[in-house]
């Protein structure tokens, strides 16, 4: 197994002892930063497997780095290695993040740091998938659509045919994100029925307001080791949210290619429009079914 990269962030006087502790642990390699700005630049230039950061930094706090991770790579774990007491830290900033606290004043804290980092990286790899804060409400909103009773298969198949042709994509699909898996209601270019939420990229895409693009999964540590994606031939991905009128994301309209690919801003806007259309079709079919049911009951 190749070494896992750990970004160590601390004051200039202390950074060497922290990075040395990481380098001393088998399988870990440290890179250094001595400010929030420096750490942010490091994170923007390439992914890391874990971040170890002091709380008090010359141009901010370790929470600023946690916030950057939460916005860009929320699956990356972070170890807060500091003598600042937990009661003085806004732990609400840790939501949706794997954050370990280690008091650096404890006996042998530096000696234990490498072990703690190795353990938290292993733990983060075992986390199934991230969920929205409103997951229960989202599932309830999804449950209001009687998908199995709605005549949408042909309409969605025509729509994915149009999407695949418009973008010249290898695969286009419309999927609803259930509790444990994503069910594909239509799929042009492949014979896919469903994927577990651990495996589907849509688990991450649904957490973003805008279109999510992964130009090459081999360059993204969230997906580069996902055997299911590789077995399906997925290399590039673009996904747009299907959002209810109440703001709940219940599904995705997605593009897949078997080679790296970029998408322009105009193309991303087009994909959002197709996702809106898919949602409108679903709403229309649901409303028509409800009207027919009311007529029968009357």
Please report the domains of the chain, with CATH numbers, ordered by start residue: 4-126 (3.40.50.2300), 135-297 (3.30.450.40)
| pLDDT at res. 1 | 44
Looking at residue 51, the DSSP 8-state letter turns out to be E
pLDDT at 222: 79
CA distances from 283 to 102, 229, 296 (A): 50, 31, 20
Which residue in the block uniquely carries the two structure tokens 């650096």? 104
Residues 6+ apart with CB under 8 A from 222: 73, 75, 204
Report pLDDT for 76: 84
pLDDT of residue 139: 93
Res 99: pLDDT: 78
| Phi–psi pair at 256, nearest 5 degrees | -130, 140
Alpha helices (H) in the chain, listed in sequence order = 15-23, 36-45, 62-72, 109-126, 135-143, 153-167, 202-205, 227-231, 265-297
- What is the SS3 assignment for 154? helix
**Quick check: pTM over 0.85?**
no
Tokens 């353990």 belong to residue: 119
What's residue 122's pLDDT? Answer: 76
Output the tens digit of pLDDT for each of the chain's 298 residues: 457 899 999 999 999 999 999 999 999 999 999 999 999 999 988 889 899 999 999 999 998 998 888 777 777 889 999 999 887 887 666 655 667 889 999 988 999 999 999 988 876 654 556 778 788 999 999 998 877 776 778 889 999 999 999 999 999 999 999 988 999 999 999 999 999 998 899 999 998 889 999 999 998 877 888 889 999 999 999 999 999 999 999 999 999 999 999 999 999 999 999 999 999 998 888 777 666 665 555 5
**Long-range contacts, 132-136 (Cβ 8 Å, 24+):** 132/206, 132/207, 132/249, 133/95, 133/96, 134/248
The answer for residues whose C-beta is within 8 angstroms of residue 86's C-beta and 6 or more apart is 101
């Amino acid at each position: 197994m190749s070494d896992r990269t750990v970004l160590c962030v601390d004051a200039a006087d202390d950074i060497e002892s922290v990075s040395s502790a990481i380098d001393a642990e088998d399988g870990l390699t440290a890179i250094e930063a001595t400010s929030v700005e420096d750490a942010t630049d490091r994170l923007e230039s390439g992914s890391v497997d874990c971040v170890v950061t002091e709380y008090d930094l010359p141009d901010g706090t370790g929470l600023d780095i946690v916030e950057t991770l939460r916005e860009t790579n929320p699956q990356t774990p972070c170890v807060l290695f500091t003598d600042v007491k937990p009661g003085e830290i806004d732990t609400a900033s840790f939501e949706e993040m794997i954050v370990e606290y280690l008091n650096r004043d404890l006996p042998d804290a530096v000696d234990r740091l490498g072990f703690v980092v190795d353990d938290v990286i292993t733990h983060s790899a075992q986390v199934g998938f991230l969920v929205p804060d409103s997951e229960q409400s989202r599932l309830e909103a999804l449950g209001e659509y009687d998908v199995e009773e709605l005549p949408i298969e042909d309409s969605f198949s025509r729509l994915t045919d149009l999407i695949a042709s418009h973008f010249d994509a290898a695969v286009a699909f419309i999927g609803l994100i259930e509790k444990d898996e994503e069910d594909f209601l239509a799929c042009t270019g492949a014979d896919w029925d469903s994927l577990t939420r651990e495996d589907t990229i849509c688990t991450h895409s649904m957490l973003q307001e805008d279109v999510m693009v992964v130009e090459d999964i081999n360059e993204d540590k969230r997906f580069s080791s996902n055997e299911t994606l590789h077995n399906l031939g997925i290399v590039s991905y673009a996904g747009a949210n299907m959002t209810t009128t109440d703001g709940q994301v219940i599904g995705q309209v997605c593009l897949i290619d078997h080679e790296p690919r970029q998408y322009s801003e105009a193309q991303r806007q087009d994909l959002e429009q197709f996702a809106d259309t898919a949602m409108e079709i679903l709403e229309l079919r649901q409303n028509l079914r409800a009207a027919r049911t009311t007529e029968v009951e009357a």
